[in-house]
Structure 1
Amino acid sequence: MKQLLYGVAYYFEYLPYDRIDQDIEMMKAAGINVVRIGESTWSTYEPHDGEFDFSKLIYTLDKMDKNGMKVIVGTPTYAFPTWLAKEYPDVLVERQGNRLPYGARQIMDITNPTFRFYAERIIRQMMQVTREYDNVIGYQVDNETKHYGTSSRNVQAGFVDYLKQAFNGDLDALNAEFGLDYWSNRINAWEDFPNVNGTINGSLAGEFAKYQRQLVTDYLAWQTAIVREYTHDNQFITHNFDFEWRGYSYGVQPDVDHFAAAKPLDVVGIDVYHPSQRQLTGAEISFAGDIARSIKQQNYLVLETQAQAFKTWTPYPGQLFQLAFSHVASGANMVEYWHWHSIHNSFETYWKGLLSHDFQPNPVYNEAKKVGAAFKKLSADLINLKHTAKVAFVVDNASLTATSGPWMEFGIGEDAKYNDVFRRLYDAFYRQNIATDVLDPKLIDPAKYDLLVVPMLYTATDEFLQKLNDYVENGGHVLYTFKDGVANEHVKVRTTRQPGIISQAVGAHYEMFVDPNGEGLADSAGVFKDVDGQISNWAELLETDGAKVLATYDHHWKSYAAITENNFGKGMTWYLGCWPNEAIVERLVEHIVAVLGLAGSYQVQFPLIVKSGINEQAEKIDFIFNYSDENQAIIMPFAATELLTDTSVAAGQEVELAPWDVKIMKRG
């Protein structure tokens, strides 16, 4: 990337009339220099089987090319035409034995050979049309791809073949490892292998979920390979990964292994949506950016984020400007809105774009003009920012799926799911301005970090857990949580005292766990004094094997530890054995940060958030955000130039930030 990209998704095919010249004029006035097109309109480009009409795509590309607008073309495979569903109904995904009806997007069976045939054909036709345009800088394969719960006959058969290979055809080994004697689920012949949709076995379900994620990895690799045949050296291939959705981007995506699926891509793209107005904290932008940046240890693209969107997301004055630089501060080289204009019918009529239904300039568009001007001015200073972190989160799709579903009926609790634990811990570090990476166990090099945070790593190999023990013994530090280290990679619970292998470094163990049922925490070492000790859902009754007790339970279980700290070799561990409220988690993180000296030069906490990076000129850039409705002030620890205003700031000078403000400081 040579410059910051500022863009929109643009759907000429959706417009009620041809206004492309006015749109381009308004885009250029706003500093928009890239559009994403094509990913939603297969039925327009192939109205009948084998009849191709790319006239609208070509018209759009020509217009953009003549006006110096860069283009990212999306393959249109995530929403397929009616004729394909009518002629070949088996291309519709089958989920839990039910084939979905036609209508919505993302209802295809990504493994279906017929779907693959027609998808490949439209991709190749599109590539032949678009490849020679100099303004096409990259391609997006598919759109927010997941496995969509696919479980049709061909998927079930593929899963059986996958298990045969994994266990070298040894059914006895499979039965023993997965505990299939339970409820007479034992499989005594491969041809008797049941449909997995009905399983109550967590090992089998977890392995099937892993297999489904592999289908996504294979599908994106398949599309990427096709597109790669046509691209030039100066064109990239990306994909727009999304995250668990709880009305906005919330946590680790359960249905895709981002780290594996991104391997064939040139650059990672993400879609990030978040609360706005009074609920804006920047945390969603930060965690999504940390994941995206960590996947390939490089900068990434924001292929979708909100402009106006919902009535609850229409940004306050100043927020759109602040948000654009929030993405850049986390490592984004592009910020692109979904989408340019609000559409006039169908499902997303009132998910509003940068322009409203009247296509006229509005306050959000006018603020986008300020963003575009600032991106143009500061591009050389902010492109390709490099980030370093002393703290890394270890996240794991397998543990996420292993701790949910009917096989965990007697498990943790609805309000303490995997992403709840990840986000409560992540947000605590974020609010204290501690930079983090977010990595998969298979990829992380513990020695690169001062502290690892391991939220609810329920399933893990013996080798990885021993690797963590060795890391601590050699001087590393780990914050563990409840349900860490319980089961092996096949979700088989270990027969040792919990938390199993890591007990050695934790210096404590438990044999009982309970619902707190009104029990709270009692401070034992001054860390949690004056903090509401409310806990819920889960409490492990820890017995110390030398660990220091930071908190116990306050009533019936007061003889047991709830949170511990332990010196092991040259390093230390902390073990959070219960599901506490946000205040307790924040206090624990504050304590760890203080013990390890992780706090940065800016001695501030949320709502003041500081993000730092090194630019291509080896200069240190600090972004200071005020995520609040109140004026805030910060004392500068360094002399700097504020880049937005070209103002010099002295070390020790107080800098004021208005509500929803951002300052960009270049040190020195």
Structure 2
Amino acid sequence: MGKSIRMDRLRLGVCYYPEQWPETMWEDDFRRMTELNITVVRMAEFAWAIFEPEEGRFDFSLFKRALDLALGYGLQVILGTPTATPPAWLTHKYPEVLNANTEGVLYRHGMRRHYNYSSPKYRELCERIVRKMVEAYKDHPAVIGWQIDNELNCETNVFYSEADHIAFREWLKERYGTLERLNQAWGTVFWSQTYTAWEQVHLTRPMIHCSPNPHLALDEKRFISANTISFARLQTDLIRELAPHHWITTNGMFGHLDSHELTDQLLDFMSYDSYPQFSTIFPSEDENSLRDRGSSLYLSNVRSISPNFCVMEQQSGPGGWVDRIGMGSPRPGQIRLWSYQSVLHGSDLLVYFRWRTATFGTELYWHGINDHHNQPNRRVREVAQIGEEFAIIGAAIAGTAYQADVAILQDYDNEWDGELDEWHGPLQWQSKRAWYKQLQYRHIPANLMTLRSTTALADLTKYKVIVYPHPAIMTDQTAELLTQYVAQGGMLLFGARTGYKNPHGHCYMRPLPGPVAELCGITIEDYTLIKGTVPPAELRFIGSHLPSGTKAVGFNEILHLEDPEVEIVAEYANEYYAGKPALTRRAVGKGQVWYYGAAFSEPVVDALIGELGLVSPAADWLDVPAEVEFGMRSSNGTSYAFLLNYSDRPAMIRFKKELKDLITGTLVKHEVQMEPYGVLVLEV
């Protein structure tokens, strides 16, 4: 089920930095927070230089005064450990704590997250500041929990200091035991890379063609994840020892970190930082892009770890550093829309970033609820409305769970391996995006699910349909689990490049798709990467409508039927493999397994949704236009439907039965016009 935050009602919070403001402003700030129904404040995650202005001299008085004042206004506080921003005296005296690029050049002081997790000195100093901090605040009645560090693996998720190379070798010794086993796992006989002493082994370093051994590169990412978790454990173990009455989380979901393992081992629940407008700063060739609605995909990923979670930073204004990440101002209604987007997908504690926009520093344009002038504005009024609504609906919604019958399956090994491997990596995002987008537009809720070594059949059977687009790395154990899922009645869909690698990243010497060839009843007789002068073939669905000219994108595999019971659903219409199978279906037990020899595109996904008979769970009682997101949270037989209009135009909703609007308490029926960026929460 995952580890969830436990809230008796939906709650609002805000990030606040008392060290950045005159103390004379604090009381007015806390008073105004309570007027907005804000009950939680996050603070201190960047304050190491305040706590330890000189090595070994500690001063916790400033935040003690802030905590006392917050308590007086009934505010509860999440404290962040300050290890994401070591002070200047530390990095100056101990440069070995700094991170480095692949050339070994150190990243210098002046930003954040410029340290490495492996440095014994940095671990020692982190352990000391966290211990002193917890001892100082563990009994303060305002404190409810701890956020360790800040955004682990943000800014950079690769580490190449000397300490990292040393730690990598130790990790490899534990993993493989001997150099003989390491050489075998990495295939070092190729190009005479064989290692004869551990000191010869390094993380990625500069080399000709900039292409490392792919098996080393995969283990490097596994090491970074394990090392990050080891660093986090230093802090969580201390907090568990000294303040067992407080919960522990961190805000994240960044690269090269197994956030599921991190949460399982160390945290009470996962938290996330949601900035839907990030989607506006990167140009997209994606026709009919989800834009800010795409944050629902990332929130679904958080939900795969903690069904109910905290959004530790919710966008509340325009954003950007002085030199990058420029984001325009949210339009009237969008802050409320994005807040309910987070709630729909499982957030029970919503913490806005930040209370007031900074007047100095790198993030002086990363706006908060209040502007620099600190006078009333429309964003403050919008948050006040959300606070009033949470007071009405919060007790009903908290603790309910998002409902979905469809899952998109993923795993860390294939994600990390695909960063280097162009023969399957680019297909992953293409297919995940196409499936999630089309399910969204068809109002069919979906979960992201991460396949792990602990995944059991019961975890899979919650879903009627599972899409596992391109699992290049596949084991026989995973194939057996998936076979059991299909046999008991599940519908499972694979895409191209399935099952051709083992966990080391070696290609199998067996017919593709390797471990699931028997399950699918096919083999791959030929294939081609679609790139450059090699065009994709067009598709012809048999007995089903597909727009003329639809192409099989990314990769084309020519399928060969090994089982006479396998049904051809689509074939290639041109190229040298014209008439050959492109999409097959096989009945197994009570279920079906589908294999598609390409990356999934939006037209193909739409056709498959029809073939699978998938319909919105609201189809019998609601007609919703595509620009409105639909989803439900449920518990104990009661369900709440969320409708979120991401359009700048009104949206007409047609009701086939009478429902209660949870926010207003009124009954809705027939037709209701949603305002631009409007929200409806309905008791179903």
Q: Which amino acid aligns with 2:555?
A: W
Q: Give % identity.
A: 27
Q: Which amino acid aligns with 2:188?
A: L
In structure 1, distance between residues paired with 2:549 and 2:381: 45
Q: Which amino acid aligns with 1:391?
A: V
Aligned residue among 524, 536, 540 for 2:557: 540
Q: Which amino acid aligns with 1:108?
A: Y
In structure 1, distance between residues paired with 2:612 and 2:576: 28
**Residue 327 of structure 1: CA displacement?**
1.2
**Residue 355 of structure 1: CA displacement?**
1.1
In structure 1, distance between residues paired with 2:616 and 2:634: 22
Map Cα deviations across residues 55-113 of structure 1 (whole Å, 9 max, x no partner): 32122111111111111111111011000001100000133122211111111111211
- Paired position in structure 2 for 1:250: none
SS at match of 2:78: strand
Q: 1:93-242, aligned counterparts within 5 Å?
A: 93-96=99-102, 97-146=104-153, 148-169=157-178, 171-197=179-205, 200-233=212-245, 235-242=246-253
Map Cα deviations across residues 600-624 of structure 1 (whole Å, 9 max, x no partner): 6445462122211124x64211111
Given that residues 354 and 368 in structure 2 are in contact (C-alpha distance below 8 angstroms), is that contact kept between their aligned partners in structure 1? yes
- Paired position in structure 2 for 1:35: 41
Q: 1:146-545, aligned counterparts within 5 Å?
A: 146=153, 148-169=157-178, 171-197=179-205, 200-233=212-245, 235-242=246-253, 253-263=254-264, 264-275=266-277, 283-296=293-306, 298-310=307-319, 312-405=327-420, 408=421, 411-412=423-424, 416=426, 418-442=428-452, 443-444=454-455, 445-516=459-530, 517-530=534-547, 532-545=549-562
Given that residues 486 and 592 in structure 2 are in contact (C-alpha distance below 8 angstroms), is that contact kept between their aligned partners in structure 1? yes
**Residue 483 of structure 1: CA displacement?**
2.0
Question: 1:272 and 1:459, CA in 2 relative to 1: closer, same or farther beyond 3 A?
Answer: same
In structure 1, distance between residues paired with 2:600 and 2:460: 27
**Residue 17 of structure 1: CA displacement?**
6.9
Map Cα deviations across residues 309-360 of structure 1 (whole Å, 9 max, x no partner): 3364422212211221111111111111111111112211111111111111
Provide structure 2 residue ranges, at least 5 long, that are not aligned to the other structure: 1-6, 281-287, 320-325
SS at match of 1:422: helix
- Paired position in structure 1 for 2:4: none
- Paired position in structure 1 for 2:10: 4
In structure 1, distance between residues paired with 2:56 and 2:109: 20
Aligned residue among 566, 580, 583 for 2:586: 566
In structure 1, distance between residues paired with 2:623 and 2:503: 41
Q: Which amino acid aligns with 2:386?
A: V
Question: 1:191 and 1:281, CA in 2 relative to 1: closer, same or farther beyond 3 A?
Answer: closer
**Residue 149 of structure 1: CA displacement?**
1.2
Given that residues 614 and 620 in structure 1 are in contact (C-alpha distance below 8 angstroms), is that contact kept between their aligned partners in structure 2? yes
Given that residues 142 and 239 in structure 1 are in contact (C-alpha distance below 8 angstroms), is that contact kept between their aligned partners in structure 2? yes
- Structure 1 range deviating more: 510-519 or 331-340: 510-519
- Structure 1 range deviating more: 272-281 or 632-641: 272-281
In structure 1, distance between residues paired with 2:190 and 2:169: 20
SS at match of 1:197: coil
SS at match of 1:47: coil
**Residue 218 of structure 1: CA displacement?**
1.7
Question: 1:17 and 1:520, CA in 2 relative to 1: closer, same or farther beyond 3 A?
Answer: farther
Given that residues 49 and 84 in structure 1 are in contact (C-alpha distance below 8 angstroms), is that contact kept between their aligned partners in structure 2? yes
Aligned-residue CA RMSD (Å):
2.5
- Structure 1 range deviating more: 302-311 or 152-161: 152-161
Q: Which amino acid aligns with 2:166?
A: A
Map Cα deviations across residues 355-378 of structure 1 (whole Å, 9 max, x no partner): 111111111111111001111121
**Residue 526 of structure 1: CA displacement?**
4.5
Given that residues 508 and 547 in structure 1 are in contact (C-alpha distance below 8 angstroms), is that contact kept between their aligned partners in structure 2? no
In structure 2, distance between residues paired with 1:312 and 1:92: 30
Given that residues 216 and 256 in structure 1 are in contact (C-alpha distance below 8 angstroms), is that contact kept between their aligned partners in structure 2? yes
Map Cα deviations across residues 378-414 of structure 1 (whole Å, 9 max, x no partner): 1111111123332222211211121222xx36x358x
Q: Which amino acid aligns with 2:602?
A: E
SS at match of 1:453: strand
Question: 1:593 and 1:327, CA in 2 relative to 1: closer, same or farther beyond 3 A?
Answer: farther
Provide structure 1 residue ranges, at least 5 long, that are not aligned to the other structure: 243-252
In structure 1, distance between residues paired with 2:399 and 2:294: 21
**Residue 481 of structure 1: CA displacement?**
1.5
In structure 1, distance between residues paired with 2:612 and 2:465: 9
In structure 1, distance between residues paired with 2:585 and 2:203: 46
TM-score, length-scaled by structure 1: 0.91
- Paired position in structure 2 for 1:47: 53
In structure 1, distance between residues paired with 2:525 and 2:182: 28
- Paired position in structure 2 for 1:644: 663
**Residue 552 of structure 1: CA displacement?**
1.8
In structure 2, distance between residues paired with 1:563 and 1:598: 27
Question: 1:490 and 1:109, CA in 2 relative to 1: closer, same or farther beyond 3 A?
Answer: same
In structure 2, distance between residues paired with 1:148 and 1:555: 42
Q: Which amino acid aligns with 1:267?
A: F
SS at match of 1:578: coil
Q: Which amino acid aligns with 1:150?
A: F
Question: 1:637 and 1:291, CA in 2 relative to 1: closer, same or farther beyond 3 A?
Answer: farther
Aligned residue among 67, 73, 84 for 2:79: 73
Q: Which amino acid aligns with 2:403?
A: T
Q: How many positions carry a matched residue from both structures? A: 645
Q: Which amino acid aligns with 2:187?
A: G
- Structure 1 range deviating more: 555-564 or 462-471: 555-564
- Structure 1 range deviating more: 350-359 or 453-462: 453-462
**Residue 598 of structure 1: CA displacement?**
7.0
In structure 2, distance between residues paired with 1:207 and 1:384: 38
Given that residues 79 and 145 in structure 2 are in contact (C-alpha distance below 8 angstroms), is that contact kept between their aligned partners in structure 1? yes
Question: 1:254 and 1:506, CA in 2 relative to 1: closer, same or farther beyond 3 A?
Answer: farther
Question: 1:648 and 1:268, CA in 2 relative to 1: closer, same or farther beyond 3 A?
Answer: same
**Residue 446 of structure 1: CA displacement?**
2.0
Given that residues 546 and 603 in structure 2 are in contact (C-alpha distance below 8 angstroms), is that contact kept between their aligned partners in structure 1? no
Question: 1:599 and 1:549, CA in 2 relative to 1: closer, same or farther beyond 3 A?
Answer: farther
Map Cα deviations across residues 251-284 of structure 1 (whole Å, 9 max, x no partner): xx43110110112211211112223789775543
